[in-house]
Amino acid sequence: MEYGSKVPTDPAAAGSSRSRIPNIKPQVASATTNVLGLLHDNLLPSLNLHSSLALLAYTVSRATRRVEIKDWLWPSGMVLNAWYHGIIARSWETGLSYRESLSTLGWTQKLLLGGVTVWGVRLFSRIASRSIKRGKDDPRYDDMNQDTSFWNKAFFTVFLPEAVFQALISLSWSVALQQGTIGSLEATPPQYGGLLHGLAIGMYTAGLNMEALADQQIAEHKKKSDDLNRSGVWSIVRHPNYLGDALVHFSFPLLLFANGLFNPLSIVGPLANYAFLRFIGGDKQNEESQEQRYKTEAPKKYAQLEEWRANKNSFWPSLREVSNPWSLALVGIGAVGVLAERGLKRYLA
């Protein structure tokens, strides 16, 4: 139609013209309804779960005056969340036993559930054992405990916000694990699905091992030296434990995408986890605490921290770390993970 021409006024012509226009509004409404339904069936139960656990942690923390109790819930609460959506909710909805519900999961869903569980159990054991051995609150929370009004507002300013982040992070797996009780999300896997599947497994394996190596190496270093640890995986970035954690979480939506189970809500999880690690807790909170403590208690260590900051990135490695032997080792570990997953699938087939 040329500019300035009139719209047909004949009813038949108008109807014919309308028939050629795509029926967009019902599709948009359907998509909106689907997203709202997924949020209702996944995010709301997660919020209820994590806020309840946060209240329990707050009660124990206030009684013991140890803020770090909330950290115990970061991995354990999310593992419980995964098992709720993958097994418990499925069992309630279908009437199957927990074992039967587990058997109805596809291979990708089992990998997802297993991946969250292994990540959470390892991190929980690390946090709990370190906390028990220390016998007092984490130094990062000393300033909080010194604030006389902290505990009166802590549930709403610390514990509940972290519960919200945990519920958002759980979207990485909750939608896909509860598939079948909330409607199918299956789509055709992408052309290079196999390659992306292997990349997701390799990313998860490398990230999990990076996180574990970081914890192990820092613990061993503290037994031998009072200097700042800058060797091992700590030679890649200043916070390899948080980078490894981020890689684990980013591997989940990639795994789902590779196998045709991706939903846009799945990407919310790793983004929320990344935002928390970079800008709220994680490396931001840790370095602020280190800087404050080292300035007054360990000037030599503070000087090392300043030098380290000038030479190493905080979270994402610089390009020169491609040739770092520990970077190459992690790539090799990821490749081993890919082969192990393929062997396990053939063995269980």
Q: What percent of the chain has pLDDT over 70?
A: 86
Question: pLDDT tens digits for 100-116?
Answer: 999 999 999 999 999 99
Retrieve residue 109's tokens.
């869903």
Q: How far apart are CA 302 and CA 308, in angstroms?
A: 10
Mean pLDDT confidence for 280-287: 80
Q: How far apart are CA 222 and CA 255, in angstroms?
A: 37
Residue 19 has a pLDDT of 39
Question: pLDDT tens digits for 180-201?
Answer: 444 445 566 778 899 999 999 9
For residues 133-142, b (16+ Cβ closer than 10 Å) or e, as one string?
eeeebbebbe
Confidence of residue 13 (pLDDT cuts 50, 70, 90): very low
Q: How far apart are CA 57 and CA 62, in angstroms?
A: 8
Q: How far apart are CA 46 and CA 69, in angstroms?
A: 20
Residue 22 has a pLDDT of 42
Residue with tokens 């900051």: 309
User: Which helix or strand (DSSP H or E) is residue 15 part of?
Assistant: helix 11-19
For residues 280-298, b (16+ Cβ closer than 10 Å) or e, as one string?
ebbbbebeebbeeebeeeb
Retrieve residue 254's tokens.
């990639």
Q: How far is CA 68 from the centre of its chain?
A: 19
Retrieve residue 41's tokens.
């069936």
Residue with tokens 């990407």: 267
Q: Which of 220, 227, 234 is nearest to 301 (CA)?
A: 227
Residue 31 has a pLDDT of 44
Residue 8 has a pLDDT of 40
Number of helical H runs and strand E runs in the chain: 17, 0
Residue 164 has a pLDDT of 96
Q: Which of 199, 212, 284 is nearest to 250 (CA)?
A: 199
- Phi and psi at 7, nearest 5°, equal -75, 135
For residues 214-231, b (16+ Cβ closer than 10 Å) or e, as one string?
bbebbeebeeeeeebbee
Residue 26 has pLDDT above 50, yes or no: no
Type of residue found at 326: W
